[in-house]
Structure formats: structure tokens, C-alpha cells
Structure 1
Amino acid sequence: METPANKIPDGMWDFLKDGNQKANVKALKTAVYTLIGMSTQKTAGQRLDHPKHISFGVLEILKWKIICEAVALVLSGKLDEMENEKEFNEL
């Protein structure tokens, strides 16, 4: 399977073509774990007595970070490499 952007000759869409992104797995994991932390904290991150809690005000940007990092992972080809590994397919 490939991205539909591969068929567009216009260079404006090169960033959405296969192989034109670099995966950052660490950034994706950090964002996902931050989302999990926000989901499991018992406050909305706005109480002064819980200074390490994350404000839900950052939820929208965090969701977009996860989306962008996931797209970059797919377009980089790294996900295809993982998919082709025997251990990955046995999960």
C-alpha cells in the first residue's frame, strides 16, 4: 500500500510522499505516554496542589503531535520494516 500523494506530480505534496519523512519513535512514545498520564491523573492539571499534573489545555496539541508522529512513522517506511519482521507478525 502507498500514499495517494505519490501520484501527485506537484512538489507541494512531497512531504506526504513515501520516504520523505523521518520517524521519531521516541517523540511518538513520549506523546502517547503523556496522553496516558493525562488520562489517568485525577485532576485536569489545574490544581496547585498537584504541580506535576498536565493541564488539559495541551490536549489538542498533544493529539496533533501523536497524529503527525504516526504519519511520519508510516511515511518513513520504518513501520513497513517492522511489519516484515517475523516477530512483529507473531504478535
Structure 2
Amino acid sequence: MTTADNASGPGQQLCWCCGRTFPESGIIRLGSRPEAGVCLNCTISLRQRARERQAADQGVLARWRVQAVRSGRQAVMQRNWHRLPAVGPALRWINRHLP
């Protein structure tokens, strides 16, 4: 079974992470596994999870740093600051560059 078989319409592809369908332009294919695709939103969360796992292998200080960043993200999300027109774009830019 291919991703096209699981998609809801022509030209729609299934994200292997969240299960939603997207146009092919909204899917990132995984190197040697072209049948596996992840949507752009899930690539961000996968990167964050990979960095958390990597920090766990690097020691206590790296884990504390990742936990502090995660706490900050949660605070921003709970307050919906990322949706504010004045500071939202800056917060989203910062988020892309943090572990």
C-alpha cells in the first residue's frame, strides 16, 4: 500500500506522523524511503524531539537547557503569544533556531 492509496484525494499525500493529508508540495520525503513522507509542521516537532534525545545523551546541563526551552515554549503557547501580530513572527523565528 502506498501513500497515494491512503490519501483522501488526487494529488494528496498522507503524513506518516500526524496522519493528515497534504498536497505533495507540503510533504518532505525521507531519503532512502521515498514512500515515507512527513508534513512540514511535523518536521519541526520531529527536529525538536531529536534534539531532546540528543541532549539526553550529552549530559545534565544539556537536558536542563532543553527543559528550559520546552517550558518557555509551553508558556508562549498557553498565552497564545505566538499568534500576536507584533511578536508572533519573532517568536516563531526564535523557535526554529532553539533546541
Give the TM-score of the pair, scaled to structure 1: 0.31
Judging by fraction of residues, say which structure has more helix. Answer: 1
Judging by fraction of residues, say which structure has more strand. Answer: 2
Give the TM-score of the pair, scaled to structure 2: 0.29
Q: Whose Rg is larger?
A: 1
